Structure 1
Amino acid sequence: MTALPSLFISHGSPMLAITRTPARDFLVELGSTLERPRAILVVSAHWETVTPMVNAVSRNETIHDFGGFPRALFALQYPAPGDPPLARRVADLLTSAGFPTGIDTTRGLDHGAWVPLLLAYPAADIPVLQLSVQSHRGASYALAVGRALAPLRNEGVLILGSGSFTHDLRRFRGQAVDAPESPDVTAFSAWMDESIMASDWSALADYRARAPHACDEHPTEEHLLPLFTAIGAADTGDAGVMARRVHHSTEHAILRMDAYEFYPASQ
């Protein structure tokens, strides 16, 4: 098995699971574009902890961590198996790198994990683990966490950061899913994409000071931090990291649904 890329995807609203959009169409095709992983490690914006935590269960519960949506959404299940030995491997890698990591033996998959996986790998037959984010630590910390996880890519593990390229839900007023993109969303996303494609990781780590409208697009950081962990996971420390944008679209005028693939430049 060749080393897998690491990925960042935008999961948007839970309605992504049942609403036909360009982002949903992209995720439906995603699994077929990649070599089948032996396991998937999802870094989800919807599990925030003080220090890193990884779940270790025999079978994942589907967590419907939202309200006010159609009943059809709550009926969806994604009972993917877990992988407790791999969870221990993840914890050991992070602890050895200076990130003491706990193991949660009860938590299942929140919608940041199961919604995109339901679309990309609908059979739910690949073991899935979830890793928490530390929003108070910022982008540089998330990058370093990803670098500690990089060996997993050579072990058949797909590292998937699941968040949102923009995430200012304060401005959601029931806009249509295909409403025109807000200009500030365009400006922020263009700066981010330019920095990613230039491999300017130092600028990206300082995005809150440098990117236009950064604190508007991300009033809190949890939905962008999985991007940095995905970048770090492709950093082998020698040749640098290359990026490829594999999807971009907008939903409800304010949610950019961009997705990126990362891999070592030498690969």
Structure 2
Amino acid sequence: MTALLPTLFLSHGAPMLAIEDSPAGRFLDDLAARWPRPHAIVVASAHYPAAVPAVGGAPKPATVHDFTGFPAPLYALDYPAPGDPALAGRIAGLWRAAGLPGRVDPLRGLDHGVWVPLRRMYPAAEIPVLPLAVDPRGDAAWHLRIGRALAPLRDEGVLLIGSGGFVHNLGELDWRRPDGPAPPWARQFADWMHARLLAGDTDALLDWCARAPHARRAHPTVEHLMPLFFALGASGDTARVERLHHSGQFGSLAMDAYAFH
């Protein structure tokens, strides 16, 4: 029997990750070779905000350049992966079966939280990709539940990814030092989260905002951390946690990546 794919949490950092050489970029270049090719990819993105669970159902989702102020070549990039409207309907059905609201957005394209990491992992853009929303006002338990409802898709060869940021404070970026060290507050938050993940301490993780050191400094807004809880929930009731990558950008962006087996 084919081994199940893990669920993944990926930090996507700045959009230039798509084309610049960096430790995180090189990590993503090699990541897809670790597991069998998925039949489809579902990405819960920090840049797809919605108060109700939503999934993109476009047959040919557009590549969305949802950022400003970057070099022109970045806006010329396209990631023409197909969609899968039937799978989108199945996802909405799994949510409803779990007592959750859910809807299919037939026009939603692929924001940079989706296509930037996938362009490095699967550059041929041949695998169907579905974007999935994150609620910027929701809590960790809500996103864990959204992910847990989709855990059966792993049996069907679907790769479930949460795309956000392990530490994400844009207000304290050090633009002068792209590879500069993380400040102490960022390290302390990341170390606490890492320890709780390895310990399987879900109760503490769900209460991260109250328990983790410098929680609100590490995440002034929560949308970049919620994809982590989606990926954790989608792995099922118990999971072996593996840190796949650890690096940083501009001091206050942690680029950590995790697999939940």
TM range (shorter): over 0.9
Aligned partners of 1:2 and 1:154 also within 8 Å: no
Match of 1:14 in 2: 15
Structure 2 CA distance, aligned partners of 1:225 and 1:135? 8
Q: Could you give the per-residue CA deviations for residues 36-78 of structure 1, whole angstroms, max 9, x where no partner exists? A: 0000000000001110111111112000000000001001100
Give the match for residue 191 of structure 1. Answer: 192
Q: CA deviation digits over 1:139-160, x for unaligned, max 9?
A: 0101111110100001100000
1:36 aligns to what?
A: 37
The equivalent of 2:90 in structure 1 is 89
Show CA shifts across 1:210-263 (max 9, x none).
00000001011100000001001111x4xx221000000011111100000002
My pick for the range that moved more, 66-75 or 96-105, is: 96-105
SS of the residue corresponding to residue 47 of structure 2 reads: strand
CA distances 1:190-209 after superposition (whole Å, capped 9, x unpaired): 00000000000110000000
Task: Identify the residue that residue 245 of structure 1 maps to in structure 2.
Answer: 243
Q: Take 1:66 and 1:141, find their aligned partners in 2: how far apart are those partners?
A: 27
Three-state SS of the structure 2 residue aligned to 1:229 is helix
- Segments of 5+ residues of structure 1 without an aligned counterpart are none
Q: What residue number does 2:125 align with?
A: 124
Superposition TM-score, scaled by structure 1 size: 0.96
Counterpart in the other structure of 2:210: 209
One-letter code of the match for 1:253? G
Kept after mapping to 1: 8 A contact 2:174/2:252 = no
Alpha-carbon distance in 2 for matches of 1:229, 1:204: 12
2:259 matched residue in structure 1: 261
Equivalent position SS for 2:240 = strand
> Residue 62 of structure 2 aligns with which residue?
61
Post-superposition Cα deviations, 1:154-211, rounded to whole Å, max 9, x if no partner, equal 1100000000000110112423211121111110000000000000011000000000
What stretches of structure 2 of length at least 5 have no aligned partner? Answer: none
Quick check: 1:90–1:149 contact (8 Å CA) kept in 2? yes
In the alignment, what sits opposite 1:147? 148
Q: Number of residues paired by the alignment?
A: 260
- Asked if structure 2 preserves the Cα contact closer than 8 Å seen for 1:175 and 1:253, the reply is no
TM-score by length of 2: 0.98
Alpha-carbon shift at residue 98 of structure 1 (Å): 1.6
CA distance in 1, matches of 2:217, 2:185: 9
State the distance in 2 between where 1:251 and 1:242 align. 27
User: What letter corresponds to residue 114 of structure 1 in structure 2?
Assistant: W
SS in 1 for 2:131: strand
- Look up the equivalent residue of 1:206 and give its one-letter code: D
AA of the residue aligned to 1:90: I
Residues 23/143 of structure 1: CA separation in 2 closer, same or farther (3 Å cut): same
Which secondary structure does the structure 2 equivalent of 1:40 belong to?
strand
In the alignment, residue 241 of structure 2 is paired with which amino acid? A
Q: 1:103-149 CA deviation, whole Å, 9 max, x = no partner?
A: 11111100000000000000000000011011212001011111101
Query: Aligned partners of 2:207 and 2:172: how far apart in 1?
Result: 24
Q: Runs of 4 or more off by more than 6 Å in structure 1?
A: none
Contact 2:174/2:251 (8 A) holds in 1: no
Contact persistence 1:164–1:256 (CA under 8 A): yes
Report the CA distance between 1:3 and its aligned residue.
Answer: 1.5
SS in 1 for 2:161: strand
* Letter of the structure 2 residue corresponding to residue 38 of structure 1: H
CA distance in 2, matches of 1:60, 1:34: 25
One-letter code aligned to 2:247:
S
